[in-house]
Every structure is written in C-alpha cells, then in structure tokens.
Structure 1
Amino acid sequence: MGELENLSRRFGGHVPGLLGARAGYAVLCPLVERPEGLHLLFEVRSRTVSQGGEVCFPGGRMEPGETPQSCALRETEEELAIPREQVQLLGTPDFICNQRGFLLHPVLGLVSPQGLEALHPSPAEVAEVFTVPLSFFRQTPPECYRYNLEPQVPDTFPYEAVGIPRNYPWASGWVEVPVWHYGPHVIWGMTARIVRSLAEV
C-alpha cells in the first residue's frame, strides 16, 4: 500500500477533531419544566471522586466510537438513573477546548416528568442534585475572574536552528472563569461557561 493510499484511507471521510486532543468528554445539560419555567438540573460530585464537592452536569469520558449524545445519555443514566428514552435531545451547544488537551461537548436535553420520577443519584458519584431556574442565570450576571496562560519555553529551545530570536513573542492567552452563587451552591468553571452560553440565547 502506497503513501498516497494510506493518507486517503486515513483522512477520507474523517470527522475533524482537535489536533493532539487526548480525550473527549460529554455532559448532558438537563432541562426540567417547572410551573415557573425551565430549570437546569445540576449534580454535586461525591467526595470520593475527582473534583469532589464541585457542581457539575452529568457526564464523563467518551468511549471509542461513542458520540457526545450517546455518552451524555449513558453517563446520565449511570449517575442519576434517568432512562435515556426519557430525555428529549434538543441540540449541541458549542464545545469547550480545555488547555489540558481535551474537548468537552455539552448536549442539551429536556428530561420528562417520568425521567424525574426515576431520578436516583448514584451515591458513589453524586452527593446531591438540585435545580436552578434558567431565568436566574439570565437575570443575574456572574462574577468573572481571569487568569493568564503564559508560555514557559525551555532554555534549550533551538532558536537559531528555527531562525527566530531569543526574545521571540510567544503567544500567551487567558481563561475567564464565571462564578454564580445560588443558595449554598457555587456554579463555576467549565460548567458555568456552558451555562452562560445557554443563558445568552
């Protein structure tokens, strides 16, 4: 098999992703209907898992061949016992590219009343669940904090070989972290960035 055929096989029909991404994750952004309007359903992570105590959406790492939608539904069923057939998928908001080298895919879905009745958090992963009116996020601006991403280039970088000066202006960046306080809960980080994108619609 020639090089051209190898390249054609590799990239023909290829769905582009993030170059160098080590993993993909998906979360369900669960909407529930209340008499006063739409709410978002959140989890608080169990203290026995990574990032314990943080507020998040149900979700996790995508398995090989899995779509963001199927991953989000699977993880929601595992974490909250909400059957996937009780979630009406509404679409896929913009994904987040994390500086640690992974993609986070939000999936928007409406949980049926039957799905809410079936809700039973897995104590191994979820400490509690709560809902917040979507109107709260629309009417309440988050606190916003920013931190810088500064390049740290090793002294051994071959500046001369690549033809650039040692004072080369390496690109830097920044990340904005929105924070909402809702009762005893704090919604922040990537979860809050997703919420902000939904509230801005």
Structure 2
Amino acid sequence: MVGRAILVPVMKNNDTRPAKHEPQSPWAFSTRELGRRAGTMRTVSREIPAPAPAEGVIGLEGVLEVPPGSPVVLDLSLEAVSEGVYVSGTVSARVAGECSRCLDELSDDLHIRIGELFAYPDSVTEETTDADEIPRLVDEWLDVEQTVRDAVGITLPLAPLCRDDCPGLCPECGGRKADLGADHGHETLDPRWSALRERMSSD
C-alpha cells in the first residue's frame, strides 16, 4: 500500500525588518514586558562583577574605586512613563583606595540611589535632547552601566581621608604624624652655620 503524500504549506516571512538581538552586557535590562503602558512597573535585582581596569574602573581611578571583580549590587525599579522608562533604586559596592594625607589604604561600603529616564525611540524627549543628556532605549533594552558609573563618580570624594582629623605625613621625614608622637621634630640648622658644620665634619 502506497501512502498518500501530504503537502505542508510553507509560510514565508515577509518581514524585512532587522532582527533584534539581546545585548550581552550584564548591565542591560529588558523592558519588553512593560509594553509602553504608563504606570507599569517591574523590579529587578542583579549582582555584577566590577569591570577590569582595561574596561575602565568604576569610581575615581587611582583615588577611590570599586576593585575589579568585586560585586556591584543593583536593586532597581523599571517604570514605564509617557516618554520612556524611568529607572530608580540603589547601587551597593565596596570601594578601596588610599588616604590623601597619610597614604594609608582605606575602604568603605557605598550605598547610593540613582534615578534616570531612558527615552523611547521617536518620543518628544528623544527628538529634543542629545543622547549624552538623556539615554535611549534600544530594541526595548536599557543599559544602566553609564548611569551607575556617573552616580558613583560624583558621590566619591576627590580627596578621601582615613579619618576627618588625619594629621598626614611629616614633611621632613615622611613618617605618619599619628605614629610619631606630639614631641616629634627635626633640628633646623641656620644656613649661615652650614658651611662651618660641613668643614668641621670633614676634619
């Protein structure tokens, strides 16, 4: 018995639009389920290892920064609004560096709040602002890396201290004043006697 051939229709895809690709960055979040419905919200939490120096440190390089590989914890809310998606929440990380006075190593736990609007394509906000002013959504994805970098950078002090009253270093010997004691000092020779002293030491 010979079976009958079954013809299966082939559906052609006439959509010529470029395929959307999910970004590989761990800092990127999908907004697809928000669907541009103002008031719709979702919360996200993620722990991301801080980038290597070659990718640019988070913080103030050489002053106070998030050590490469240490966790950066994001707890965020993504809310659809009329012009885009508003991202708000907290960033937590540990920063390390050195005291600007005594050069001792120091570290601190950083907890900061962020808030940023990511504009929809073809929105009024996109048309009236530059991308470096307000970031954009790309294929229903938003990337918070630069937002986090900016927030950390403006929060950290340019001259960090191990403590507010750090006395710093002795300008003569370079020792830590906190370890040298209150009676620490150096003999100051009148320059008029320096030639005589050198002559006496050579005899």
TM-score when normalising by structure 2 = 0.21
Q: Which structure has the larger Rg over C-alpha atoms?
A: 2
- Highest relative contact order (Cα 8 Å, sep 6+), 1 or 2? 1
- Greater helix proportion: 1
- Greater strand proportion: 1
